[in-house]
Amino acid sequence: MSVKILPGGLFSAAFAALAESDVDAKLSVTHALFAAWSDGKLKRESESCIPLDATCVGRPAQPELVHPRYMPRRGLGSDHGRIRMMHAIAHIEFNAVNLALDAVQRFQDMPDAYYSDWLKVADEEARHFLLLRDWLRTHNSDYGAFAAHNGLWEMAEKTDHDVLERMALVPRVLEARGLDVTPGIIEKLQQAGEMDIAAILQVIYEEEIGHVRIGNHWFRHLCNGRALDPETTFFSLLKKHFPKGLHGPFNLDARHQAGFSESELARLNEA
């Protein structure tokens, strides 16, 4: 499918991509957005645009969204379990596309480098989703075949008022959780002889380290601009939004590669 970016500047184009509910159209526009911005063919508007309401994000009619407590456990010991697991990861990647687009269209007073980073993330998340959807289709399934939960996007709604909170709580908490759990999933898939999907998840894992690193960079940039201590601010936000703490174990090596400080990692381990 070939989809052209709608007329307008960066923010209106990202708005249109975020609002798009057709999966293939959203992915096509996302790739085109990144290419146009990278090539200098797309400019940011001179005046602020009204961002899309976070409750109006475009998504397809399926999958049905349910509360996490109603989601069945997904084991990797059977073909059906592996398909359900890959569907869940595909849903995370689809949400990640929307999260990156929203980071662009919602927060319109950031440096150009911020938009370059998050359009790159959106482009890579779209590619991750396509890799997973292609795998599902070769296994007689597809995106939307199973129910999913909306935890990632609920945090987007909670942080739609402040780019600093968004950078603190989405890449550094929710997306960083993927760095903790993905190596174990890859190992189990390899043990089951599922080398093709294990290789896909390895690519995703390595690129997700870079995505979390981008979140870390902009979180610290924003803290410095507001004369806030990054570590104190981060743990204050964790206490506010995750009063029961974060669940380990944590992949300390990957989190360190992604820009977490030694002091932060020590505090996470102690919590």
The model's confidence at residue 5, banded by pLDDT at 50, 70 and 90, is very low
Quick check: is 265 in a domain? Answer: yes
The model's confidence at residue 55, banded by pLDDT at 50, 70 and 90, is confident
SS3 148: strand
**Cβ count near 252 (within 10 Å):** 17
Q: 16 pLDDT exceeds 70?
A: yes
> What span, in angstroms and rounded, lies between the C-alpha atoms of 222 and 162?
10
Condensed to tens digits (0 to 9), the pLDDT of residues 122-148 reads 999 999 999 999 999 999 999 999 999
> What span, in angstroms and rounded, lies between the C-alpha atoms of 248 and 227?
30
Quick check: is 3 in a domain? Answer: no
Quick check: is 2 in a domain? Answer: no
The model's confidence at residue 66, banded by pLDDT at 50, 70 and 90, is confident
**What is the pLDDT at residue 182?**
97
The model's confidence at residue 7, banded by pLDDT at 50, 70 and 90, is low
Range with lowest mean pLDDT among 91-105, 139-153, 216-230 = 139-153
Say which CATH number the domain at 126 has.
1.20.1260
Quick check: is 1 in a domain? Answer: no
Q: 2 pLDDT exceeds 50?
A: no
Quick check: is 139 in a domain? Answer: yes
Which residue range forms the structural domain that includes residue 157? Answer: 10-270
The model's confidence at residue 152, banded by pLDDT at 50, 70 and 90, is confident
Compute the mean pLDDT over every residue in the chain, rounded to the nearest whole number: 93
Higher-confidence residue of 180 and 7: namely 180
Quick check: is 5 in a domain? Answer: no
Number of domains in the chain: 1
Higher-confidence residue of 254 and 269: namely 254
Q: Mean pLDDT, to the nearest integer, of 210-230? A: 98
Q: Mean pLDDT, to the nearest integer, of 249-254? A: 96
Q: 70 pLDDT exceeds 70?
A: no
Q: 39 pLDDT exceeds 90?
A: yes
Condensed to tens digits (0 to 9), the pLDDT of residues 162-192 reads 999 999 999 999 999 999 999 999 999 999 9
The model's confidence at residue 74, banded by pLDDT at 50, 70 and 90, is low
Q: Report residue 246: phi and psi, to 5°.
A: -95, 145
Q: 106 pLDDT exceeds 70?
A: yes
Category of 194 on φ-ψ map: left (φ > 0), alpha (ψ -120 to 50) or beta: beta
Provide the token pair at 197.
């999907």
**What is the pLDDT at residue 264?**
95
Mutual orientation of helices 176-191 and 79-106 as an angle, nearest 10°?
160
Q: What is the DSSP string of 170-237?
A: IIIIIIHHHHHHHHHHHHHHHHTT-HHHHHHHHHHHHHHHHHHHHHHHHHHHHHHHTT--HHHHHHHH
